[in-house]
Structure 1
Amino acid sequence: MASSVALSHGFPFDPAYGYGTPEALLTVPAPPAPDGFDAFWRERYARARAVDTRPVLGPVEGERDGVRLHGVTYTSVGGVRLGGWLALPAEGLVRYGFVIGHGYGGRPGPGRDLPPPLPGAAVILPCVRGMGERGRVEGIPGLADRHVLHGIGSRDTYVIGDCAADLWCAATALTALVPELAGAGLPDGPRLGYLGESFGGGLGALALPWDDRFGAAQLTVPTFGNHPLRLTLPCAGSGEAVRAHHREHPGVTDVLGYFDAATAATRLTLPTLVAAALFDPSVPPPGQFAVHNALAGERELQVLTAGHFAYRGMSAEAAELDANRTRFFGERLRPAGPRR
C-alpha cells in the first residue's frame, strides 16, 4: 500500500495538496448535510424507480473477456433516452449483476470496464446524460467543464442529480433485461454490485445510499467529496470550473451541499471498497478520502500512489486493485439462484 508520494510534475499547484500520507488524509471529514438532504434524495429515487425504462437490447457487437457485448438503450427521468452496453456471459447462467459508472467524458466503449468483476456477471455500462455519443442529449453540454455547471443554479435542475437517476434507471433496465436479476433487492433476491471511477465514483456515493437493490460497491478516486474544501483547492479537472463559477456566484454552495459525495457517504451502509490516491491533479485527494472516511458501513481502503496521472508501478497497483475487487465482491454479493 502506498504510504507517501513525491512525483515529478508540471502543474502550478501541489497535486498532493500538502497531505501526502494516508494518516493525514484519513482525518478529512464530511460536511454536514443541508436541511432536507435525505428527503431530497429519497424523493428523487422514488421518481426514478417509477420510470418505465423500456430497455431495448441490440444485436451482439462483439465478444471478449468471456462476455458477449450488446448495445442497449433505456429511458431515464424526464423521458430522456440513453444508451450504453450490456455484457452477458458467453456461456453459463447469470449469477451476478453489476452497474458500472464511467468517468467524466463518458465512454466510447466498454474498454477497461471489462472483464466483469466476477464470473457469470451481467454488466450494464450506461452512458449518463450528456456524456459520450450514447449519452448525448440535446441541450446538455458534453464537455466536462461545462457539463458540471449545467443547471447548477438550483438543486432541482442540477444535472448531477439527473445523472445519479440515470444510474438508478440503468439498474432497473438491467433487472428487466436479465430475468435472473429481477428479484434484486427482495429479501431472498440477489444483490447488484456497483463500480465507479472518478465521476462515476462520486455519482455512486450519491446514488447508492437510497437503493436497496445493491449489495456492495467499489468507488475509485471518487469526485464530489467535501465541496467546501474542494472550492479552496485548484485542480486540472471539472472542479476548477466549479471553483471559477463559485467566485462569481458564491451562493452556489447552497446547491453543492446537496451533491456532496462525502455527505452522502455518511448514509451509505453497504460494504464499500474505496481506492483513493495520495496524488491527483484532477480530483483532489482530500475529497476522495473524505468519501471513504465518511462511509457509514463496512469499508475497505486501497491507497493508490496517484490518480489521473501516469506513474511507475501503476500497472502493479491496478492488478492489486483488480484482485481486491474480485475478492471483495465475491465475499459480499448474494448471487442469483442456488450456490454451486
Structure 2
Amino acid sequence: MPLTDLPYEDLLEYRPEPAAPEGLDAFWADTLARARALGGEPSVTPVADALLPAFEVSDVRFPGYGGEPVAGWLLVPRGAAGPLPAVVEYLGYSQGRGLPLERLLFPSAGYAYLVMDTRGQGHDTPDPHPGDPQWFAGLMTRGVESPERYYYRRLYTDAVRAVDFVRGLPQVDADRVVVAGASQGGGLALATAALADGLVAAALVDVPFLQHFRRAVEIAGVGPYPEIAEYLGLHSREQVERTFATLAHFDGLHLASRASAPALFSVGLMDPVCPPSTVFASYHRYAGHKDIEVWRFADHAGGRSSQQRRQLEWLRDRGLGAKA
C-alpha cells in the first residue's frame, strides 16, 4: 500500500489552526451537566465464566446520554489488591463490546478494565433517537443538521459517563483512570480526555478517527468519512457549510487543545481510513504532554501488538502501571 497523504517531513510541520466554533465549551458543559443531573443507578452483575478463571467478569450498565443505559464488560484480575489503575476502552466504528475473552490485554496486565459498548453500533446499547434524520447506512450523517441532534453528541457523552462510572468503583484508584481506543475509539479517547479534563490520568489515542473533519472528508478514500462526502455531494453549498459547522463541535482538532492529561498517539503513514495529516493536526494541538509512535509502513491497523507493548511501557513509565 502506498503513502496516502503528506510525506513524513511535511506531517511534522502540518499545523492547521481553524477557529473553534463559538460557544463550544458552553455546548459541552451544558450537555454533560444535563447527563449527570439525570443520574441513574449503574448495575454491576457478576458473570460466572469458567473459561476465564484469572478474572472477575461483570456485565455492567451505567447511565449515559439522557440517562440511557450503556452496556459494558468490567474485567478485574481475580484476587488483586486494590485500588487498581483502570483502563476505559472505546471501540472502532461498527464495533460492539463483543465477548469478554476478546478484551484481555489490560486486565492481564493488572488493570481494572471497562470496555464500553457503542450505542447504535453494538448489540447491547440501542440509540433510541429514531427522529434524527439519516441519509446512509452508517452513522456519520445521523442528526448532522445540528450539533444538538448529532449522533456523536450522545456517544461522546456516553464516553465521559463511562469515566464517571469507573472512578466510582471500589476496586479503582480514581486518580489513575486511563482512556484508550483505536480509530473511532481513539477519537473518543481524545475527546474524553478533553471533556473530562482533570478526571483522566492519561489517554492512549491510536490511529484516531473524528479528527480534522474537513480535510478527512476531502481525502479519505475508504471508511466512514466518505459517508459524509457522499451526503455533501447531494446538497447545496449552504448545507455543506452547515454540516461542517455541526462537525466542528465534535472535531478532535478543536478538542485537543482542551486536554491536559499526557497522551500517547499512534499513526500509520499508509492509513487510507484516517489520513495521517488529520492525526498530526490534532496531535500538534494537544495541550498535554504527548508522544507519538509513527508506523511508516502501517495502514489503519497501526502498530498492532508492538503498539500495545509500547502502551504498557509508556503507562508504566508514568506511574500508571499495575503492580506486579
Shift of 1:206: 1.9
- Paired with 1:111 and 1:228, the residues of 2 have a C-alpha distance of 38
Alignment-derived partner of residue 74 in structure 2: 86
Gaps of 5+ in 1: 1-6, 9-14, 185-189
- Paired with 2:310 and 2:54, the residues of 1 have a C-alpha distance of 20
Alignment-derived partner of residue 152 in structure 1: 144
Normalising by structure 1, we get a TM-score of: 0.82
- Paired with 1:257 and 1:234, the residues of 2 have a C-alpha distance of 18
- Paired with 2:64 and 2:136, the residues of 1 have a C-alpha distance of 20
Shift of 1:32: 2.2
Matched, 1:105 2:94: yes
Change (3 A) 1:80 1:144: farther
| Bigger Cα displacement from structure 2, 295-304 vs 25-34 | 25-34
Are the counterparts in 1 of residues 35 and 67 from structure 2 also a CA contact under 8 Å?
no
- Paired with 2:100 and 2:277, the residues of 1 have a C-alpha distance of 29
- Paired with 1:144 and 1:123, the residues of 2 have a C-alpha distance of 34
Q: Deviation per CA, 1:23-61, whole angstroms, max 9, x where unpaired?
A: 222222243211111222222232333342422122325
SS of match in other structure, 1:84: strand
- Paired with 1:51 and 1:331, the residues of 2 have a C-alpha distance of 38
- Paired with 2:249 and 2:189, the residues of 1 have a C-alpha distance of 14
- Paired with 1:36 and 1:59, the residues of 2 have a C-alpha distance of 42
- Paired with 1:52 and 1:122, the residues of 2 have a C-alpha distance of 23
Normalising by structure 2, we get a TM-score of: 0.86
- For 1:294, give the aligned amino acid: R
- For 1:179, give the aligned amino acid: P
Partner residue of 1:119 out of 104, 109, 113: 109
Matched, 1:285 2:271: no
Matched, 1:135 2:125: yes
- Paired with 1:71 and 1:85, the residues of 2 have a C-alpha distance of 5
Change (3 A) 1:105 1:61: farther
- For 2:47, give the aligned amino acid: V
Alignment-derived partner of residue 62 in structure 2: 74
Gaps of 5+ in 2: none
Alignment-derived partner of residue 324 in structure 1: 310
Q: Deviation per CA, 1:54-96, whole angstroms, max 9, x where unpaired?
A: 2212232535494332221122121322212111111212311
Matched, 1:44 2:31: yes
- For 2:92, give the aligned amino acid: G
Are the counterparts in 1 of residues 193 and 202 from structure 2 also a CA contact under 8 Å?
no
Percent identity over the alignment is 25
Q: Deviation per CA, 1:140-176, whole angstroms, max 9, x where unpaired?
A: 6999952121111111111111101101111222233
- For 1:119, give the aligned amino acid: A
- For 2:61, give the aligned amino acid: T
Q: Which has the higher contact order (CA 8 A, sep 6+)?
A: 1
| Bigger Cα displacement from structure 2, 75-84 vs 43-52 | 43-52
After superposition, residues 1-340 of structure 1 pair within 5 angstroms as: 7=1, 16-17=4-5, 19-21=6-8, 23-30=9-16, 31-62=18-49, 64=52, 66-94=54-82, 95-107=84-96, 108-110=98-100, 113-116=103-106, 119-139=109-129, 146-176=138-168, 178-181=169-172, 184=174, 190-211=175-196, 212-247=198-233, 248=235, 249-250=239-240, 251-304=242-295, 305-308=297-300, 317-333=303-319
SS of match in other structure, 1:157: coil
- Paired with 1:254 and 1:78, the residues of 2 have a C-alpha distance of 23
Are the counterparts in 2 of residues 216 and 333 from structure 1 also a CA contact under 8 Å?
no
- Paired with 1:239 and 1:33, the residues of 2 have a C-alpha distance of 20
Shift of 1:204: 1.9
Alignment-derived partner of residue 11 in structure 1: none
- Paired with 1:243 and 1:46, the residues of 2 have a C-alpha distance of 33
- Paired with 1:146 and 1:264, the residues of 2 have a C-alpha distance of 24
Are the counterparts in 2 of residues 246 and 253 from structure 1 also a CA contact under 8 Å?
no
Q: Deviation per CA, 1:112-135, whole angstroms, max 9, x where unpaired?
A: 542107733111111121121012
- Paired with 1:217 and 1:50, the residues of 2 have a C-alpha distance of 26
| Count of aligned positions | 311
- Paired with 1:285 and 1:109, the residues of 2 have a C-alpha distance of 31
- Paired with 2:153 and 2:200, the residues of 1 have a C-alpha distance of 19
- Paired with 1:43 and 1:164, the residues of 2 have a C-alpha distance of 13
